[in-house]
Amino acid sequence: MREVHVNQITEAVAKLSVETNLFLREDVCRRIAQCREEEDWPVAGEILGKIEDNIRIAREEFVPMCQDTGMACVFLEVGQDVHLTGGSLEDAVNEGVRKGYTEGYLRKAVVADPIRRGNTGDNTPAHIHTEIVPGDRVKVIVAPKGFGSENMSRIRMFPPSAGAEGVKDFIVRCVDEAGANPCPPVVVGVGIGGTFDRAALMAKQALLVPLEEPHPDEYYAAMEEELLERINELGIGPQGLGGRTTALAVKIKTFPTHMAGMPVAVNINCHVSRHGEVIL
């Protein structure tokens, strides 16, 4: 049994909260650069260039890439041979968010009540998902989620008769109806299967997959490619002003489901597709 003090988790969450808002993942940067080179619509190419300038300035000046520094989504993979010491895991995560967003001068966007509102003042509580896995390590993933894109999320409980075509049409329609709202080019996370809640979780987790990593199942890898092509044919383009780059990638996660159903969830990220991780 290996002991991990929860203070280590607090420090990891605090550090990642700042870094993910200031430094964009390299796989996303490479994909944006590739799309800019492939754009044949001058306006779209110019916008993608401005996006690259923004990413560079954020990195060099240590300022957030976007004014919406997001609600902190924290994914924890805790090894079953780990003994957490020093206090509550949930409290440790929230203290990390509080520390990172306060010391990093990041905008606090969380309200205490969904209807009555009232800003909590420190961007807590975080959305926390914990999974017990084999081993004696703790993986901490922080993914700040802006709500311009989060608000474009959709879920639908399909009957099995809808088939693959019904699923694909739904995904494309979600992006089409979102239009410019999620600040395209976007990354599209898709969860298929499980239950109502599992599909939504998988859609968000799909956004954590590196853009250059194809689905391990050839069937779904081909579906990701087809969906990306269809979405980019919509012509929404960067910031909704036209072009061939509406999405940077489509990532799919699946899980077995009941024979009577086929849940499908779509979670969209803007081009500032943020997440970082550390293993303790």
pLDDT of residue 127: 97
SS3 190: strand
pLDDT of residue 79: 98
Band of pLDDT at residue 49, cut at 50, 70 and 90? very high
pLDDT of residue 90: 98
pLDDT of residue 16: 98
Omega before 185 cis (within 30°)?
yes
Band of pLDDT at residue 230, cut at 50, 70 and 90? very high
Quote the mean pLDDT of the chain: 97
Find the length of the chain: 280
pLDDT of residue 34: 97
Q: What is the mean pLDDT of residues 21-47?
A: 96
Q: What is the mean pLDDT of residues 177-192?
A: 98
SS3 82: strand
**CA–CA separation, 238 vs 40, rounded Å?**
12
Q: Which tens digit of pLDDT belongs to each residue from 52-104?
A: 999 999 999 999 999 999 999 999 999 999 999 999 999 999 999 999 999 99
Chain centroid to CA 218 = 23
Strand duo 186-193 + 247-255: pairing: parallel
Band of pLDDT at residue 231, cut at 50, 70 and 90? very high
Q: Which tens digit of pLDDT belongs to each residue from 191-202?
A: 999 999 999 999
